Amino acid sequence: MLEIRPVCENCKKDLPNTSSEAMICSFECTFCKDCVDTILHNVCPNCGGGFEKRPTRPVNCLTGNCTEKYPVSTKIVYKPIVKDKFKQVLDFFIDIAPRKR
Protein backbone atom coordinates (compact mmCIF):
# COMPACT_ATOMS: atom_id res chain seq x y z
CA MET A 1 0.00 0.00 0.00
CA LEU A 2 1.29 3.45 -0.90
CA GLU A 3 2.43 5.67 1.96
CA ILE A 4 1.11 8.86 0.28
CA ARG A 5 4.08 10.92 1.48
CA PRO A 6 3.22 14.50 2.43
CA VAL A 7 5.97 16.61 0.77
CA CYS A 8 8.29 16.84 -2.23
CA GLU A 9 11.65 15.24 -1.40
CA ASN A 10 13.49 18.06 -3.17
CA CYS A 11 11.70 21.34 -2.39
CA LYS A 12 9.45 20.29 0.53
CA LYS A 13 6.30 21.52 -1.24
CA ASP A 14 3.19 20.24 0.54
CA LEU A 15 1.69 17.28 -1.32
CA PRO A 16 -1.41 16.25 0.62
CA ASN A 17 -3.42 13.19 -0.34
CA THR A 18 -5.61 15.30 -2.63
CA SER A 19 -2.71 16.94 -4.50
CA SER A 20 -2.70 16.69 -8.28
CA GLU A 21 0.97 17.78 -8.22
CA ALA A 22 2.39 14.64 -6.55
CA MET A 23 4.53 12.35 -8.69
CA ILE A 24 6.05 9.02 -7.64
CA CYS A 25 8.49 6.45 -9.01
CA SER A 26 8.09 2.69 -8.53
CA PHE A 27 9.88 2.93 -5.17
CA GLU A 28 7.46 5.68 -4.11
CA CYS A 29 10.05 8.44 -4.12
CA THR A 30 7.79 11.50 -4.08
CA PHE A 31 8.37 14.79 -5.86
CA CYS A 32 6.19 17.66 -7.02
CA LYS A 33 5.38 17.96 -10.71
CA ASP A 34 7.45 21.13 -11.02
CA CYS A 35 10.62 19.42 -9.73
CA VAL A 36 9.99 16.35 -11.92
CA ASP A 37 9.53 18.50 -15.04
CA THR A 38 12.13 21.24 -14.56
CA ILE A 39 14.91 19.72 -12.43
CA LEU A 40 14.67 15.93 -12.65
CA HIS A 41 13.49 15.66 -16.27
CA ASN A 42 11.49 12.54 -15.35
CA VAL A 43 14.55 10.75 -13.89
CA CYS A 44 14.33 9.72 -10.24
CA PRO A 45 17.56 10.76 -8.49
CA ASN A 46 17.28 7.80 -6.12
CA CYS A 47 16.63 4.89 -8.51
CA GLY A 48 16.82 6.25 -12.07
CA GLY A 49 13.21 5.34 -12.81
CA GLY A 50 10.52 7.54 -14.28
CA PHE A 51 7.58 9.17 -12.55
CA GLU A 52 3.81 8.78 -12.69
CA LYS A 53 1.03 10.82 -11.12
CA ARG A 54 0.44 9.61 -7.56
CA PRO A 55 -3.06 8.24 -6.93
CA THR A 56 -5.30 9.71 -4.26
CA ARG A 57 -6.45 7.50 -1.39
CA PRO A 58 -10.26 7.63 -1.12
CA VAL A 59 -11.76 9.48 1.83
CA ASN A 60 -15.17 7.84 1.34
CA CYS A 61 -15.25 4.66 3.44
CA LEU A 62 -18.05 2.86 1.57
CA THR A 63 -15.62 0.05 0.65
CA GLY A 64 -13.65 0.26 3.89
CA ASN A 65 -10.48 1.19 2.03
CA CYS A 66 -10.11 4.84 2.91
CA THR A 67 -7.96 7.34 4.74
CA GLU A 68 -9.83 6.71 7.99
CA LYS A 69 -8.80 3.05 8.03
CA TYR A 70 -5.50 3.53 6.17
CA PRO A 71 -4.14 6.99 7.05
CA VAL A 72 -1.66 8.70 4.76
CA SER A 73 1.93 9.12 5.92
CA THR A 74 3.09 12.05 8.00
CA LYS A 75 6.77 11.09 7.61
CA ILE A 76 8.78 13.84 5.91
CA VAL A 77 11.39 12.58 3.43
CA TYR A 78 13.57 15.55 2.53
CA LYS A 79 16.64 14.84 0.41
CA PRO A 80 17.34 17.87 -1.78
CA ILE A 81 19.08 17.11 -5.06
CA VAL A 82 22.87 17.27 -5.00
CA LYS A 83 23.38 18.66 -8.50
CA ASP A 84 26.81 17.12 -9.25
CA LYS A 85 25.75 13.69 -8.03
CA PHE A 86 22.39 13.85 -9.82
CA LYS A 87 24.04 14.99 -13.08
CA GLN A 88 25.69 11.56 -13.38
CA VAL A 89 22.33 9.80 -12.93
CA LEU A 90 20.55 12.18 -15.30
CA ASP A 91 23.21 11.87 -18.00
CA PHE A 92 23.01 8.08 -17.85
CA PHE A 93 19.19 7.77 -17.97
CA ILE A 94 17.94 10.88 -19.80
CA ASP A 95 17.85 9.25 -23.26
CA ILE A 96 16.43 5.91 -22.10
CA ALA A 97 12.64 5.60 -21.95
CA PRO A 98 11.45 5.07 -18.35
CA ARG A 99 10.06 1.59 -19.10
CA LYS A 100 13.45 0.50 -20.49
CA ARG A 101 15.68 1.76 -17.68
Residue 38 falls inside a structural domain? yes
CA dihedral 58, 25, 5, 22 (to 10 degrees): -70
Question: What is the reported pTM?
Answer: 0.93
Q: How far is CA 49 from its chain centroid?
A: 11
pLDDT, one tens digit per residue, over 45-101 is: 999 999 999 999 999 999 999 999 999 999 999 999 999 999 999 999 999 999 999
pLDDT, one tens digit per residue, over 28-45 is: 999 999 999 999 999 999
Residue 8 falls inside a structural domain? no
The residues near 97 (Cβ < 8 Å, ≥ 6 apart) are 50
pLDDT, one tens digit per residue, over 9-30 is: 999 999 999 999 999 999 999 9
Residue 27 falls inside a structural domain? yes
Residue 84 falls inside a structural domain? yes
The helix (run of H) or strand (run of E) holding residue 24 is strand 22-24
* Total of domains in the chain: 1
Residue 3 falls inside a structural domain? no
pLDDT confidence of residue 54: 98
> Where in the sequence is the domain holding 53, given as residue range(s)?
22-94
pLDDT confidence of residue 34: 98
Residue 67 falls inside a structural domain? yes
